[in-house]
Structure 1
Amino acid sequence: MKQPISLTWELDSIFPGGSASPQFENFLRKLETDIEALGRQVADAAPPSDLESTRKLDEVIALLQSCSGRLVEAAEFAGCLGAQNQQDKGAVRLSSKVTGLRAGFKGVSSTFDNLLRQTTDEVWSQWMARPEIAPLEFVLGESRDLAREKMSPELESLALTLAVDGYHGWSEHYETIVGSIQIPYEEGEETRLLSVGQAFNKLDDPDPKVRAAMFRKWEVAWGGAEDYCADTLNHLAGFRLNLYNGRGWEDVLKEPLGINRMSHASLDMMWDVITKSKPALVSYLNRKAKLLGLESLAWVDVEAPVGKSSGKIPYDQAANDIVAQFRKFSPKLADFAERAFDSSWIEVEDRPAKRPGGFCVSFPESRESRIFMTYSGTPSNVSTLAHELGHAYHSYLLEDLPLLNQNYAMNVAETASTFAEVIVADAQVKAAASAEEKIALLEAKIQNSVAFFMNIHARFLFETRFYEKRKHGLVNAGELSALMVEAQKEAFCGVLSGYHPHFWASKLHFYISEVPFYNFPYTVGYMFSTGLYRLALQEGASFADKYDSLLRDTGIMTLEDLVSKHLGADLTQPEFWQGAADLIIEDINEFLRMTEHSG
């Protein structure tokens, strides 16, 4: 790879000029014109009455895919601009423009889906049998079925229009709240104001005094914003619930399960296996408390590193290590990661005004990806980097497919990313030069289990209960904090001495309007990826091709069918989930054995 590796990404290859880009403005104008043209085509179309009349809809599908791809390109570019600098007012304006275009496109798509809904089964079967349309059968059939469960096209279009300044407006308002928060941090005799993203990294500091001090300030900061956050969360949820009522949807999980193309039975089975596996994690947390010289862990201690820190991991070293570890599993994956580093697709610089968190976006028109995070040299940062590269690789594998077939669900997206994390973590453990180093690396791996089995379970419990409570009226900030602590206590089996009441305010995922219940798919992806890794260990080098084939099918199958086809397993039964949990418990037992006489 090129050295040194850039700390900042390069966006000019997408659209030069940032938020003032004339090329991007022209791109948006052309996209707006084409969405309007698509609307006219759809409005003039009629449900096909025979096989010949379906050919008119083929033309609609071609333009629909083109507009969809360009809309993603525009949304991701505007999102990247806002993420790299939350003070960029031009990016805010562009995001608002794209949100309006998205609403218009969704309105047209809803009308098109209604044409699919009205197509008779006889004509549908003939249409889907045609070679040029057959590859889209799953996606079009999915849209047809969902259209039959929604309101009329007119009402759906109205809801989408109102959502721009309502539903999505509240989500954008949360970003404004986050951008305004500054948290004081004392470094020597100097006090500086940190952004939320910078302050968040201090919560992982090896020094318990730094962690505890920052956590107190973190809670105070979010407590100061709690009423604004509570208003935002309540109105987001209220819009969503009213939309569900209009569609006759009683189960708040209906939409997120549909988006993730999985059944309630599979989700329930996964949580059941996880709950039965939690005693091993409780033993780990109790041992960790002993190693840290504590009677029990508080929330801020859960992710604290065990043992002496070996210092910050330079970014160049992290990049080279990730590529080397990817190469042991798949040269194709390693080559792709090298391309991402060499092409400056990754933004990691630690600076003010960046939004917190990490993400990966892919640009279907440019056939490139971009990764965003704030790198401070922690093992957690290295994991995040591997995680986001896994996302980018997944999109890369699909870029030659029809655009409609590239829309994979979040849970399988998290499978690819978490699998990449597991590759890195397991390679590090196996290469440990000493028992002390192996303990530290094992502990870092187990931290993921705590996050997915406990932290995310707490988010799922909180959000499920919040939505039930919201059906009966507004839920104030104090009630939200109480719900959050209750969920955390249950998910962590009461093992912690202190919790995070304002987690509901500080976590962006609760405020994402595009994707409801942005929590359980992470755990599904973690369990799925761990199950895949277990098979990779059994099958060796030949598994890489099977893995790529599975990822390429993620946009055209339910999760259950995907697993049945490629792995021969049934997710509504415990065996696959239990196999993944057993591999995790093996790490915990090894950690407990190695630390038995420590502390």
Structure 2
Amino acid sequence: MADTANVTQARNDTDHENLGELPEWDLRDLYPAPDSPELKDDLERARYLARSFREDYEGRLDEIDGGSLGVAVERYEALQEQLGRIMSYAQLVYSGDMSNPEVGKLYQWLQETVTAISTDLVFFTLELNSISEEALERKLEDERLARYRPWLRDIRALRPHQLSDELERMLHEKHVTGRAAWVRLFDETMAGLRFPLDGEELTSSEILNKLTGHDPATRKAAAKSFGKVLGDNARTFALVHNTLAKDKEIEDTWRGFTRPVSERNLQNRVEDEVVDALVKAVTDSYPNLAHRYYKLKARWFGVDKLPYWDRNAPLPEDDDRIIPWHQARQTVLGAYGEFSSTLAEVGQRFFDRPWIDAPTRAGKAPGAFAHPTVPSAHPYLLLNYQGRSRDVMTLAHELGHGVHQVLAGGQGHLMADTPLTLAETASVFGEMLTFQAMLRAEKDPKRRKVMLAGKVEDMLNTVVRQIAFHMFETRLHDERREGEVMASRIGEIWMETQRESLGPVFEFDEEYQYYWAYIPHFIHVPFYVYAYAFGDCLVNSLYAVYENAPEGFVERYLEMLQAGGTKRHRELLAPFGLDASDPAFWHKGLDVISRMIDELEAFD
């Protein structure tokens, strides 16, 4: 055992060297520096233009003709894009070093300044929603306004839940000292935490990476250290969760949403019953998917019960190879290129230009994301690349987001963004392309088993685990309506949903009850998490269509990405013969995972 530990430590010491040179982003495409004249000038220009816009249009939208309203929307879009560029810069600088007080001060100042400027724009969508359907249809006869029909459709979907102009303006102005302040507290608390392990003080990204390593003693020590530090800070995290859940309940009540998830569903342009069908399909499949797979994994490990820190442990026959950055890049771009030269060409830009920030470092935001910024600029990707196979999949995932964002940029700032349910399509599809390419290239049966198991685990994390997160979030918000939920009770809800989803094969030690505290989606975007399962099942169904009828698929797929937010899920999926409102749709996607588990069972 000592020899194994020494080998593992020696491997860990050289991991960063083996990764090769990792890229770091250059934010000067947005602004030269936080104190640059360009940033200051854009703030002043936006302030002036927002005031002028309000003076020109407030109280007049109902009376102006369609062409003039089209000009107004164009001016509004240009203003929102300028403010979006500023806040994208602020967010990216902050994500690069959340522990730096000066960076935090800059982020807060820009948030407050942009919020104050955009207050002059709040009236616009409120007045658009006050125009009658008949009057708006007459105005839409003008081509200049008609271009924005999809955006107007989505804005007006919020009409039943719109408050008075004064209340909407107040909520907008108070956001920076309300929800946004609590989100910042969460982010800075997580970024500042250090987790002791073997004489080192690790960030959350670094210690979570240890849970995918080969040494069981290291996995256990890392898991317990992570849980202990989260537990030491549980009161703070519970306060953040309780405050934001209550804040959401208050606003939901005023807006007339009866269920905590309904507001997110409306924002996602998906019906409550569609999401309910997804959740039911996944929860009904817990035994056939997660329970069955993890029982199989326990058998591979030669045990009856798996400790929770072995959930993402590599298989015994996995050689734990470190994948250097250049190989990860080649793998992902190669897989994209086999499918579509367009996808590969757009993806190549991210590597040729400083659009990716890959190294782990103290203070940097954990996890990974793709930030779209604005159509007049380009997306940026944040990773914490540590050379695992899952890191390659994460690169494929985030690059899919980035490519999607570039392709949709032609729709303009107001219509480029897709709802969360469809935003995961290109990312998960990129993962599937990469996995299938790697699997085809691998001839060793043992390595193929390892790869297939890794993909199944990723899919379970994306589908089963995220729906379990959704169930946790739902129960927490429901209980919060009856009063504040203590940290101990939050832990109980967490353990209930984890046991239900992962199955009886797992053993959970006491510290695992605090693992809810580090999940950022609960804080940043309440009820985001089901979108991952939505996207994974959707992509599984899409990929099955591609395998069975590849002719013309690539062109239809690219058209879907280029549509951005102009179409809803029914319109986007119709060319592929798919319908997410059909309950059977979800089972098609889940069957893909089930068949992979069948294949793994055949290895025994």
What TM bracket, shorter-length normalisation?
Answer: over 0.9
Structure 1 position 470, deviation (Å): 0.8
Aligned partners of 2:67 and 2:143 also within 8 Å: no
Corresponding residue for residue 213 of structure 1: 221
SS at the partner of 2:364? Answer: coil
Structure 1 position 483, deviation (Å): 0.9
Paired AA for residue 12 in structure 1: R
Q: Does the alignment pair 1:33 with 2:48?
A: yes
Corresponding residue for residue 25 of structure 2: 9
Paired AA for residue 224 in structure 2: R
Paired AA for residue 597 in structure 2: I
Is the deviation greater in 457-466 or in 536-545? 536-545
Is the deviation greater in 554-563 or in 442-451? 554-563
SS at the partner of 2:513? Answer: coil
Q: Provide the C-alpha distance between the structure 1 equivalents of 2:110 and 2:537, rounded to a whole number of angstroms.
A: 35
Aligned partners of 2:318 and 2:447 also within 8 Å: no
Taking a change above 3 Å as real, the CA distance of residues 347 and 65 of structure 1, as seen in their structure-2 partners, is same
Structure 1 position 437, deviation (Å): 0.6
Corresponding residue for residue 399 of structure 2: 389
SS at the partner of 1:371? Answer: strand
What does the per-residue CA deviation read over 1:22-70, in whole Å, with 9 as the maximum and x for residues that have no partner?
Answer: 4323323322333333333342x32424xx5344433321121012212
What does the per-residue CA deviation read over 1:169-197, in whole Å, with 9 as the maximum and x for residues that have no partner?
Answer: 111111121122111121xxxx2211222
Taking a change above 3 Å as real, the CA distance of residues 344 and 5 of structure 1, as seen in their structure-2 partners, is farther
What does the per-residue CA deviation read over 1:447-505, in whole Å, with 9 as the maximum and x for residues that have no partner?
Answer: 12211232112210111011111112111111111111111112223442227311221
Q: After the TM superposition, which residues 299-378 of structure 1 pair with which residues of structure 2 at under 5 Å, given as runs?
A: 299-306=308-315, 307-378=317-388
Paired AA for residue 159 in structure 2: A
Corresponding residue for residue 483 of structure 2: 473
SS at the partner of 1:399? Answer: helix
SS at the partner of 1:133? Answer: helix
Taking a change above 3 Å as real, the CA distance of residues 379 and 522 of structure 1, as seen in their structure-2 partners, is same
What does the per-residue CA deviation read over 1:154-174, in whole Å, with 9 as the maximum and x for residues that have no partner?
Answer: 111111212210111111111
Aligned partners of 2:66 and 2:145 also within 8 Å: no
Paired AA for residue 126 in structure 1: R
Q: After the TM superposition, which residues 143-182 of structure 1 pair with which residues of structure 2 at under 5 Å, given as runs?
A: 143-182=155-194
Structure 1 position 106, deviation (Å): 5.8
Structure 1 position 101, deviation (Å): 4.5
Aligned partners of 1:554 and 1:562 also within 8 Å: no
Aligned mate of 2:578, from 569, 573, 592: 569
Aligned partners of 2:85 and 2:374 also within 8 Å: yes
Aligned partners of 1:196 and 1:355 also within 8 Å: no
Aligned partners of 1:5 and 1:341 also within 8 Å: no
Aligned partners of 1:280 and 1:588 also within 8 Å: no
Q: Does the alignment pair 1:122 with 2:138?
A: no
Q: Provide the C-alpha distance between the structure 2 equivalents of 1:383 and 1:168, rounded to a whole number of angstroms.
A: 31
Aligned partners of 2:227 and 2:514 also within 8 Å: yes
SS at the partner of 2:414? Answer: helix
Is the deviation greater in 552-561 or in 333-342? 552-561
Aligned partners of 1:203 and 1:215 also within 8 Å: yes
Q: Does the alignment pair 1:184 with 2:200?
A: no
What does the per-residue CA deviation read over 1:532-559, in whole Å, with 9 as the maximum and x for residues that have no partner?
Answer: 1111111225311110111223402222
What is the RMSD computed on CA atoms of the aligned residues?
A: 2.0
Q: Provide the C-alpha distance between the structure 1 equivalents of 2:562 and 2:503, rounded to a whole number of angstroms.
A: 38
Taking a change above 3 Å as real, the CA distance of residues 25 and 47 of structure 1, as seen in their structure-2 partners, is closer
Structure 1 position 105, deviation (Å): 6.0
Gaps of 5+ in 1: none
Paired AA for residue 413 in structure 1: A
SS at the partner of 2:166? Answer: helix
Aligned mate of 1:23, from 15, 35, 38: 38
SS at the partner of 1:360? Answer: strand
Structure 1 position 96, deviation (Å): 1.7
Corresponding residue for residue 46 of structure 1: 60
SS at the partner of 1:403? Answer: coil
Taking a change above 3 Å as real, the CA distance of residues 192 and 251 of structure 1, as seen in their structure-2 partners, is same
Q: Does the alignment pair 1:411 with 2:441?
A: no
Aligned partners of 2:24 and 2:356 also within 8 Å: yes
Q: Provide the C-alpha distance between the structure 2 equivalents of 1:166 and 1:200, rounded to a whole number of angstroms.
A: 30
Corresponding residue for residue 593 of structure 1: 602
Q: Provide the C-alpha distance between the structure 2 equivalents of 1:259 and 1:32, rounded to a whole number of angstroms.
A: 28
Aligned partners of 1:41 and 1:60 also within 8 Å: no
Q: After the TM superposition, which residues 65-80 of structure 1 pair with which residues of structure 2 at under 5 Å, given as runs?
A: 65-80=77-92
Paired AA for residue 48 in structure 1: D
Q: Does the alignment pair 1:256 with 2:271?
A: no
SS at the partner of 2:550? Answer: helix
Query: What TM-score, normalized to structure 1?
Result: 0.93
Structure 1 position 303, deviation (Å): 1.2
Corresponding residue for residue 61 of structure 1: 73
Q: Provide the C-alpha distance between the structure 2 equivalents of 1:161 and 1:374, rounded to a whole number of angstroms.
A: 34
Identity across the alignment (%)? 24
Paired AA for residue 27 in structure 2: L
